[in-house]
Structure 1
Amino acid sequence: MLLPRPRRFDVYIAVGGLLGGLLLVGIGLGTRPADDPITLFDGPWPILVPLAVMACCELLRRAAPRTALLTGSVAICADVVTQGNLATVLMFTDIVYAAVLYGPLASARRIQWITGLLTVAATLVPFAVWRKPEALLIGVVVGVVAYGPAATGWIVRNHRDAAEAARLRAEQTALLAEMDRAQAVTSERSRMARELHDMVANHLSAIAIHSTAALSLDDPKTSRDALTVIRENSVEGLAEMRRLIGILRDSSGDTEPVAAPTLDGLDALVEGARANGLDAHLDADPGTVPTPVELAAYRIVQESLTNALKHAGPGRVTVSLARRDGSLTVTVTSPYGDRDGPRAPGSGAGLVGMRERVALLGGTFEAGPEDSPDGKVWAVRAALPVTDTVEGDPA
């Protein structure tokens, strides 16, 4: 199996350690004298073998830390039976440090335990055998060469892992913030789409129907009446658009936000539908309801009247609001069938908007054709809870 390619920095460490060791050999500076009892091979040449092996291990300090540590441990033991080289010892401490820092977590824990036990054994065993205080220095040397680098590597690894965890948490927080922002933007776009549709569609539908009538009928009086209705709806639609722009610009302080419509405005809403040609009638006894429910009910009636203006056949349009079983029930019925006059196009967004408003309040909504004593009708029914209402603006 081919070993991984060493990092450039590791190459620099290996070359530096090797050159430093050769310099120490060249000037004859070893860690022990030639007549030391544990020196089995004296002279400069035996020192070069563990030095060269340790330099090769430095090349693998990050690419293969466990292999480097096992090979380096053999090399440091070989260095002990020579006159020794300080560069070999220093490179071994770096290999221990790198094995803990870059190796697997389980290996890092084992290295700490092993070096700790070796330090304790190197302290107690020589002292127990020789009974001399100087024997304790062996444990100090082993601790400095083995356990010290391992402990340092463990501390640095913990700090590195903590920094990486903090970075990941920051990235996750940023990702969640971006998701929240995107969700808020989507929600705001949906709200503004509903508001724009509800506030302007009624007037534009009336303009489309009456302008078609004015163009198709060769009657001056009918054309004048149609143009009057067109002008009124265009002026009111423009005012509604300005109010919507005012809401959008509210944060910059350019305009004051317009007050949300209330159920007190249903009479005017139905009266406007009559002016546009609907035979609309209102039967409302809602009582006092929360503001979100009030706004949702108003918009449902407004959109239902707009749909009746565009699609309903001739006949009576009934708007009913009543409190039943802890809910405000909104019912709008209109004749189901083809219109005698011109028809305004529809996109289907109105039903989607009404359904979304009701869902935000936890209510129920249904719309479709029904049979009634007066014939087939299109009925819109919504039940809006007036207790435990969702907080906030349902728009």
Structure 2
Amino acid sequence: MAVRLPRPHRDDVRIALAGLLGGLLLWAIGLGTRPDDEPIVLWAGSWPVLLPLCVMAGCELLRRVRPRTVLLVGTVALACDTVTQGSLVTVVMFTDLVYASVLYGPPASARRIPWIMGLLSVIGTVVPTAVWRVPEAVLIGVIIGLVTLAPAATGWIVRNHRDAAEAARLRAQQTALLAEMDRSQAVSAERARMARELHDMVANHLSAIAIHSTAALSLDDPDTSKEALGVVRENSVAGLAEMRRLIGILRDSSGDTEPVAAPTLGGLGALVDHARANGLDVHLDCTHTSLPAPVEMAAYRIVQESLTNALKHASPGRVTVALVQREHALDVRVTSPFGGARDSGPRAPGSGAGLVGMSERVALLHGTFEAGPEGPEDLEGGKIWTVRATLPITEGETE
């Protein structure tokens, strides 16, 4: 199986061609780094210079994809160049290989190479000075440092800046992602809150309209039909007012921009009177002192939705609403007759959203919620439907 060589980067191809052409130009005009009569020159003549030059240009093609390999090969090519007349372009391309090996190489190599190059610079300074004992020998270490340590240190600095910029970019992406998640959660929570408010504010009126309009259509008694239509009109006007107030909250440009007061337990009396006017036999037992606004609103909505469900689904009989405040919680309990031989199905259609909304309200306050039939069946096969909620009262929130 043939091994596929990595494809060089376009910039690396340009660097290799520029280095090769520049080296050929210096070779053509006869410019070298040392004369033929120096003792270090083992390969005299101008042609041996081209071999290290071509190898170094080939290494430049793979400076990004194989940084460690080309550094080793380039080191061998530079050693061969030192025993010829030498080419300045070969030396310059080697410094670029050192720089690329630190910038593009693995993190471990990027950390080790500057230390290795620094050690070579020290050795290149100490050994010639100790052997020849002339001040000019220090220049050898300086030249080695310029060729090896300087590009390695430059690559390390550039790599650190690049890594810091990448880390900042990733942090910005994570921040944007978290912000989008928070926005989506906020939108979902607001939509759920609007759904609960819309259901609780309007469902009671619409249920009464559906029940009494059915009665008006099914009875031939003019007085009864007139009374039922009166209840229908009353609930229609009240429901329309609630809808307008809700629209006033949602639309900034609406003329009704005044905030709607949150319902409190002080309005339970009016709520029960309204349920009685719709035909329910409701008994209210409420004992409480000052409570936090979220607790009062949740309790009010739970009672409101329970009475709406009783109007739609309960069998004839008494509906009991009881609120008892304990030391750290408010207990809400609503009971109504359920099922039995007299039950002919719901008097108005339901979707089950009311129970979901009550459960969500209690969950937001970290309370407990239960709803369902309980107790033994009576002679007619009926049970008692009970809605029970416990709403914690956080200390320090009461007024």
| Aligned position for 1:353 | 357
Q: Residue deviations 1:157-191, cap 9 Å, x none?
A: 00000000000000000000000000000000000
Amino acid paired to 2:298: A
Aligned length: 391
Secondary structure of the residue aligned to 1:335 is strand
- What displacement does 1:2 show? 3.0
Contact 1:361/1:389, CA 8 A, preserved across alignment: no
- What displacement does 1:108 show? 1.1
Q: 1:244-259 alignment to 2 at 5 Å? A: 244-250=246-252, 255-259=257-261
| Aligned position for 2:103 | 101
Is 1:260 matched with 2:250? no
| Aligned position for 1:321 | 323
Contact 1:286/1:322, CA 8 A, preserved across alignment: yes
Amino acid paired to 2:355: L
| Aligned position for 2:388 | 381
Gaps of 5+ in 2: none
Q: 1:1-395 alignment to 2 at 5 Å? A: 1-250=3-252, 255-337=257-339, 339=343, 343-371=347-375, 376-388=383-395
- What displacement does 1:340 show? 6.3
TM-score, length basis structure 1: 0.96
Amino acid paired to 2:70: A
- Output the CA distance in 2 between the equivalents of 1:178 and 1:161: 26
- Output the CA distance in 1 between the equivalents of 2:253 and 2:321: 36
Q: Residue deviations 1:324-370, cap 9 Å, x none?
A: 24211111111112546971011111111111111111111111112
TM-score, length basis structure 2: 0.95
- Output the CA distance in 1 between the equivalents of 2:188 and 2:309: 26
- Output the CA distance in 2 between the equivalents of 1:150 and 1:253: 70
- What displacement does 1:250 show? 4.9
Contact 1:54/1:88, CA 8 A, preserved across alignment: yes
Task: From the superposition, tell whether residues 230 and 342 of structure 1 become closer, same or farther in structure 2 (CA, over 3 Å).
Answer: farther
- Output the CA distance in 2 between the equivalents of 1:158 and 1:289: 58
- Output the CA distance in 2 between the equivalents of 1:81 and 1:389: 88
- What displacement does 1:109 show? 1.4
- Output the CA distance in 2 between the equivalents of 1:325 and 1:308: 30
- Output the CA distance in 2 between the equivalents of 1:139 and 1:340: 104
Gaps of 5+ in 1: none
- What displacement does 1:110 show? 1.7
Q: Among the aligned pairs, what percent are the same residue?
A: 75
Contact 2:328/2:395, CA 8 A, preserved across alignment: no
Contact 2:245/2:260, CA 8 A, preserved across alignment: yes
Contact 1:327/1:385, CA 8 A, preserved across alignment: yes
Secondary structure of the residue aligned to 1:331 is strand
- What displacement does 1:273 show? 0.3
- Output the CA distance in 2 between the equivalents of 1:97 and 1:254: 69
Tell me which stretches of 4 or more aligned residues in structure 1 moved more than 3 Å: 250-254, 338-342, 372-375, 388-391
Q: Residue deviations 1:222-258, cap 9 Å, x none?
A: 1111111111111100111111111213598861111
Secondary structure of the residue aligned to 2:247 is helix
Q: Residue deviations 1:15-51, cap 9 Å, x none?
A: 0000000000111111112112211112110000000
Task: From the superposition, tell whether residues 29 and 293 of structure 1 become closer, same or farther in structure 2 (CA, over 3 Å).
Answer: same
- What displacement does 1:373 show? 10
- Output the CA distance in 2 between the equivalents of 1:373 and 1:289: 37
Contact 1:285/1:322, CA 8 A, preserved across alignment: yes
- Output the CA distance in 2 between the equivalents of 1:306 and 1:298: 12
Task: From the superposition, tell whether residues 344 and 82 of structure 1 become closer, same or farther in structure 2 (CA, over 3 Å).
Answer: same
Contact 2:204/2:304, CA 8 A, preserved across alignment: yes
- Output the CA distance in 2 between the equivalents of 1:251 and 1:162: 47
Contact 1:211/1:230, CA 8 A, preserved across alignment: yes
- Output the CA distance in 2 between the equivalents of 1:93 and 1:341: 90
Contact 2:245/2:256, CA 8 A, preserved across alignment: no
Between 1:58-67 and 1:169-178, the stretch displaced more is 58-67
Contact 2:313/2:346, CA 8 A, preserved across alignment: no
| Root-mean-square deviation over aligned CA pairs | 1.8
